[in-house]
């Protein structure tokens, strides 16, 4: 199955391609403010290196939020252009679930995983996940919560992945395992989709697709 995945919900701009043999290739940067410059460049580089056209793909996967309004908007515009009149399916994937999927692949003892994205002010976007019998599950909705409230819910041995780690009290971090911005990648979107964790993704109409934005009054 040939897949293209776009991750732009944070400062990371990552594009990953999975070829017919299941090998995944990536172009990635975490330099702030480069999404509009780099996203199409990365797509073109992968196309040139691996000889595929958009029409050859079985699906395009996009990180749908929460996250940066600007980053999410750029990828939404990109997929609308890429998939215009192609018939290639578009799949929107929960950004925080993809973070958790990435942890599971790096850390075999992953269980209670807190995916977070810096929401500015004194808040983070948050969702907690559990891996049980190789299944990714959650009882939580995506929330915007104060950092202090997030710190109080952490327990020894919990795992945190995402952005904004530098804003969390060091004594709290010391009792957890942490994965920062270096662990955010479009490859995790592909892994989640291939694993069939369908609670965290859905097919979207490319022309109508809108990311899951959070408005300013949800970060008050």
For residue range 124-147, what is the model confidence (pLDDT) as tens digits?
999 999 988 889 999 999 999 999
Q: Provide the pLDDT for residue 109.
A: 64
d(CA 86, CA 58): 11
pLDDT (mean) for 29-56 = 95
Domains of the chain: 3-94+184-218 (3.30.420.40), 96-183 (3.30.420.40)
Q: Is the pLDDT of residue 220 over 70?
A: no
Element (H, E) at 50: helix 35-50
**Strand partners of residue 201:** 93
Considering only CA atoms, which of 117, 52, 57 is closest in space to residue 91?
57
Q: Are 103 and 110 in contact (CB under 8 A)?
A: yes
pLDDT digits (tens, 9 = 90+) for 57-95: 999 999 999 999 999 999 999 999 999 999 999 999 999
Find the mean pLDDT for residues 38-60: 97
Measure CA 8 to chain center: 8
Euclidean distance between CA atoms 188 and 95, whole angstroms: 9
Rounded to the nearest 5°, which phi and psi values hold at 204?
A: -125, 155
> Which of 19-28, 75-84, 91-100, 107-116 is the least confident region?
107-116
Q: Tell me if residue 138 falls in helix, strand or coil.
A: coil
108 band by pLDDT with thresholds 50, 70 and 90: low
Closest CA to 127 of 152, 97, 93: 97
The pTM is what?
0.95
């Amino acid at each position: 199955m040939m897949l293209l995945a776009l991750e732009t919900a944070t400062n990371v701009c990552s594009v990953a391609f999975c070829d017919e043999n299941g090998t995944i290739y990536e172009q990635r940067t975490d330099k702030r403010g480069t999404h509009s410059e780099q996203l199409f460049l990365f797509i073109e580089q992968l196309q040139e290196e691996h000889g595929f056209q958009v029409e050859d793909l079985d699906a395009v996967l996009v990180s749908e939020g929460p996250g940066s309004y600007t980053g999410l908007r750029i990828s939404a515009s990109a997929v609308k252009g890429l998939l215009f009149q192609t018939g290639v399916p578009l799949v929107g994937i929960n950004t925080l679930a993809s973070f958790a999927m990435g942890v599971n692949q790096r850390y075999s003892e992953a269980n209670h995983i807190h995916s977070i994205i810096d929401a500015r002010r004194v808040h983070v976007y948050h969702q907690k996940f559990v891996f049980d019998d190789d299944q990714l599950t959650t009882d939580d909705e995506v929330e915007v919560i104060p950092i202090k409230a997030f710190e109080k819910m952490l327990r020894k041995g919990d795992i945190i992945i995402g952005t904004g780690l530098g804003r969390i009290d060091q004594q709290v971090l010391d009792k957890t395992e942490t994965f920062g911005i270096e662990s955010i990648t479009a490859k995790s979107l592909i892994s989640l989709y291939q694993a069939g964790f369908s609670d965290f993704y859905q097919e979207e109409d490319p022309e109508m697709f809108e990311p899951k934005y959070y408005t300013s009054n949800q970060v008050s």
